[in-house]
Structure 1
Amino acid sequence: MKKTLLLIAIFSTLASCKKEKNPQITPGLFGKWELAYVHGGWHPATAVTNSGNVYQFNSDSTYVKYLDNKVTASGKFSIKINQVQDTIKFGLITFTNPTYSDAWAQTPHTIIIGSSAADGPSYEYHKVSYK
């Protein structure tokens, strides 16, 4: 009887799981994101306001980066999701201009680029527009 209940529980769990068509696509990413905090090593997070430091991520896998409201980089980006926990996606973001990759995490209203491990900075952006 216990085996039957266990099998029913396993099958119902598997049946309720829904595989994403393409887990690398992150539609909540598209839009403008403004720098809100800088995290780094042993220092507490530093709040940033009205810096003009913005990323614009588009559905065609292009991005534009602004510093002081001036375009400083643009090109293509890609994201490789390594792990999903609850509503947080973790992975690696790669930019083409300049070409580099960095740690990346996303919640519905926040993205973090970089890693504050080993005293490196990480930049927390909050969504400011959906287009």
Structure 2
Amino acid sequence: MKKRTSTIIVVILGGIGLCVAIPLGVNVYRDSTDPLKQEAREHGITNYYEKDGLLRDRIELDPAFRRIEAEVDAAANMELEARGLNKMGMGRFSIHEQFKKKILKEGYGIEWRSVVEMNPFVAID
């Protein structure tokens, strides 16, 4: 039997508050036929894993990625500060993720998809 649930998740990542809200009209079921995975297929999202109820890019599990992640997050935070966005409220997380993506691509040649990109069917900030 499927049980319908609504979910709001708040996570603190490196001093950045992440609030996730499942928008109205999106049904979330936790059983063997998980619609999260169905949504991923419908949006062409592959090569993912699930963490905290959200899809994540599988590259985050790579030991090489894990070694540089703290450094990249720090560089993204410095970019936020340099642009005067470090005290921004809503929208800060998404901008941080954009800076992180750019740093990974340009500095390390890594193609990474942010949690926002991996979950286009979920409102994240």
What is the TM-score normalised by the length of structure 2? Answer: 0.28
Q: Which structure shows the bigger proportion of residues in helix conformation?
A: 2
- Max radius of gyration: which structure? 1
- Highest RCO, 1 vs 2 (Cα 8 Å, sep ≥ 6): 2
1 or 2, which has the higher strand percentage? 1
TM-score of the superposition, structure 1-length normalised?
Answer: 0.27
